[in-house]
Amino acid sequence: MKSSPPEKKVLVLHGPNLNMLGKREPEIYGKMTLEEINRELIRQGKNLGLTVECFQSNHEGAIVEKIQENFETCSAIIINPAAYTHTSVAIRDALLLTDAPIIEIHLSNIYKRETFRHRSMISDIAAAQLTGFGHRGYSMAITALAGMLQN
């Protein structure tokens, strides 16, 4: 009897204030809520043969702990660190625990915004960065990871 291939889990991490999507500055971040984005990611992941676990926190330590809890069991990470993009050495160090591919995502184009948003603490350790595609960037990321994990 053939056994099924091991489960490929994608951990999706959302940083501070992303729980307010749809309400907070919709002209920048869009009208789609985080719950809607997560539902779509889970559905799309299932269609691609991936299990998707989504997590959001406004607290840096909670994000670090989630990475530490999952670094050995996840096949890939999608992270929108939000404001922690520019400041968090702690999240960066936690991500260094994993050999899994990481895709950094931003709803807005951080390079067309304030200068302080142009620097990412994560971009040099990520396999890729998607910025400025709005909620579609998440879909692009999960599709890209499915391809990366097949190779």
Task: Please give the average pLDDT of every successive group of 10 residues along the chain, which has 151 residues.
Answer: 67 97 84 96 97 98 98 97 95 97 94 81 96 96 96 72
**97 vs 55: CA distance, rounded Å:** 18
Q: Is residue 2 part of a domain?
A: no
Any idea what the CATH number is for the domain that residue 123 is in? Answer: 3.40.50.9100
Catalytic residue among 14, 29, 84, 138: 29
Q: Is residue 1 part of a domain?
A: no
Q: Is residue 3 part of a domain?
A: no
- Give CA angle at 121 (36, 125), nearest 5°: 85
**83 vs 104: CA distance, rounded Å:** 13
Q: Is residue 118 part of a domain?
A: yes
Range of the structural domain that residue 42 is part of: 8-150
- Tokens 């299990």 — which residue? 51
Residue 7 has a pLDDT of: 80
Q: Is residue 116 part of a domain?
A: yes
Q: Is residue 90 part of a domain?
A: yes
Catalytic residue among 14, 84, 106, 135: 106
Residue 3 has a pLDDT of: 46
Residue 111 known to be catalytic? no
pTM of the model: 0.92
**92 vs 90: CA distance, rounded Å:** 5
Residue 29 known to be catalytic? yes
Strand partners of residue 59: none
